[in-house]
Amino acid sequence: MNKTWLKEYFELYKNPLFDESVFSQLLELKTDLETVHDQGGKTMIMGNGGSAAIASHVAVDFSKNAKIRMVNFNEADLITCLANDYGYKHWMSKAIEIYGDEGDQVILISSSGSSANVVNAAKTSKEKGYKIITFTGFDENNPLKSNGEINFWVDSRAYNIVEMVHHIWLLAVCDSVIGKAEYLAS
């Protein structure tokens, strides 16, 4: 690795992060999160692997700092129980069935947009009448994106780039709810 490699690497983040066509979607997401919260609902956020880690971080920041109720389902006992009883490709759907309430919405994160458990969660969310927001990458015409009402897509096939852009977008929305980018954690 050298400075040239790093410069080229960080250039890969520029297009998605500075694509102004995404800005209106981010503002729409902010409005949706605030509206669902103001009407007494919550946002459920889910993903696998790195996307699950993003979901955890984002749920905490929205709930604690932005005062927008957001939950994720990353507890090992919950995942293994539901996966054991219903199969791994259905555990997220079952979590949504168990914990979802009228007026909720769902954010689903999948770099590929084709993970069976996440796509099934979108289908269950649609059946329940929840608004679906997707964060994907890789193939633009992925199955998860086709189930969403607001879709964020990163034009990359690199997991780290897709995941980090998703993370930045979500935390930008969180900071926009808070109203500033720099603040002390309270």
Percent of the chain as helix, strand, coil, to the nearest 5? 60, 10, 30
Task: Compute the distance between CA of residue 170 and CA of residue 85 in angstroms, rounded to an integer.
Answer: 32
Pinpoint the alpha helices (H) of 73-115.
76-86, 91-99
**Cβ 147 vs Cβ 122: under 8 Å:** yes
Quick: pLDDT tens for 57-107. Answer: 999 999 999 999 999 999 999 999 999 999 999 999 999 999 999 999 999
Residue 186 scores a pLDDT above 70: no
Q: What is the value of pTM for the model shown?
A: 0.95
Residue whose entry in the numeric block shows the structure tokens 């689903």: 108
Q: 7 pLDDT band (50/70/90 cuts)?
A: very high
Token pair in block for residue 167: 């993370």
Task: Compute the distance between CA of residue 121 and CA of residue 123 in angstroms, rounded to an integer.
Answer: 5
Question: Domain residues of the chain, as ranges?
Answer: 42-177
CATH superfamily of the 42-177 domain: Glucose-6-phosphate isomerase like protein; domain 1 (3.40.50.10490)
Residue 185 scores a pLDDT above 80: no
Residue whose entry in the numeric block shows the structure tokens 């932005």: 66
Pinpoint the alpha helices (H) of the chain.
3-17, 21-38, 50-64, 76-86, 91-99, 116-128, 159-178
Token pair in block for residue 144: 């998860």
Task: Compute the distance between CA of residue 93 and CA of residue 104 in angstroms, rounded to an integer.
Answer: 14
